[in-house]
């Protein structure tokens, strides 16, 4: 990979802990701020695209017209088989670009909780989430599994927690990039959502302090393997 284009929807939901993985590979990182920057850069086949999270719906084109341009960017990356990673909202947009339906889920999943890996997931890069398979959830929407994709992980509430299509496309509903040292930014930035969800911020913070360092390390290992495989 020469460059990594990272589409960012919130300043504090950036590449976080996985930024160093790209730097170690000698990749230049280019942030594209959705709704502000031009989302039509020229992508070379050996460039990678990472679409990050955010609090909007992947189907809210009427409220956020830039989503149309963002979907075109994802479609271009998919067409030329560039490595493409979607995280949370990014996974939902990736699923939509692949023709799947995205819609509100039955409830919010926020905090540290385990996922269950499918047989495909157990031999994927997500095996690095072992031994307890805890991840950092922060989402309310979900999506159908895209045609040609394989399901890698599920929860009781959200059957499609992770999917892959070939070696180059990976969608994750959960966050592998969130850094433990920066988590207060999330609690401040999403205070309205936490209030609506009726969550106890102190209890959420305690759970994150206890488990997020291990979750962060395991997630970074998973993405390191995916990058190695996707770059071949």
Q: Is the pLDDT of residue 232 over 70?
A: no
DSSP assignment of 5-46 equals EEEESSTTSSSGGGHHHHHHTTPEEEEEETTTS-S-PPPPTT
Q: Do residues 78 and 84 touch, judged by C-beta distance below 8 A?
A: yes
Q: What is the pTM of this model?
A: 0.96
What pLDDT, on a 0 to 100 scale, did the predictor assign at position 52?
Answer: 98
pLDDT computed for residue 41 by the predictor: 87
Q: Is the four-CA dihedral 13, 153, 106, 34 of positive or negative sign?
A: positive
What's the CA gap between 226 and 230, in Å, rounded?
6
Catalytic annotation, residues: 88, 175, 177
Express each pLDDT in 99-143 by its tens digit: 999 999 999 999 999 999 999 999 999 999 999 999 999 999 999
- pLDDT one-digit tens code per residue, 144-201: 999 999 999 999 999 999 999 999 999 999 999 999 999 999 999 999 999 989 999 9
1-58 per-position pLDDT tens digit: 689 999 999 999 999 999 999 888 888 899 999 999 999 988 888 899 999 999 999 9
Q: Which domains does the chain have, with CATH numbers?
A: 3-230 (3.40.50.880)
């Amino acid at each position: 990979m020469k460059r990594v284009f990272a589409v960012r929807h919130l300043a504090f939901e950036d590449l976080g802990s996985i930024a160093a993985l790209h730097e170690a590979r000698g990749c230049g990182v280019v942030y594209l701020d959705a709704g502000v920057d031009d989302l039509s850069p020229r992508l070379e086949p050996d460039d990678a695209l990472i679409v990050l999270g955010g609090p909007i719906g992947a189907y809210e084109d009427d409220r956020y017209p830039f989503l149309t341009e963002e979907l075109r960017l994802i479609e271009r990356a998919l067409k030329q088989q560039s490595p493409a990673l979607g995280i949370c909202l990014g996974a939902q947009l990736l699923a939509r670009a692949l023709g799947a339906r995205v819609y509100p889920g039955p409830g919010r999943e926020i905090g540290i909780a385990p996922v269950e890996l499918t047989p495909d997931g157990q031999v994927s890069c997500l095996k690095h989430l072992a031994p307890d398979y805890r991840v950092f959830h922060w989402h309310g929407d979900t999506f159908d599994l895209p045609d040609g994709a394989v399901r890698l992980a599920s929860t009781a509430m959200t059957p499609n927690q992770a999917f892959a299509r070939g070696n180059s496309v990976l969608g994750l509903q959960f966050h592998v990039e969130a850094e433990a040292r920066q988590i207060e930014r999330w609690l401040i930035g999403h205070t309205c959502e936490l209030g609506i969800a009726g969550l106890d911020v102190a209890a959420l913070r305690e759970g994150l302090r206890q488990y997020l360092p291990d979750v962060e390390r395991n997630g970074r290992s998973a993405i390191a393997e995916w990058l190695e495989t996707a770059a071949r």
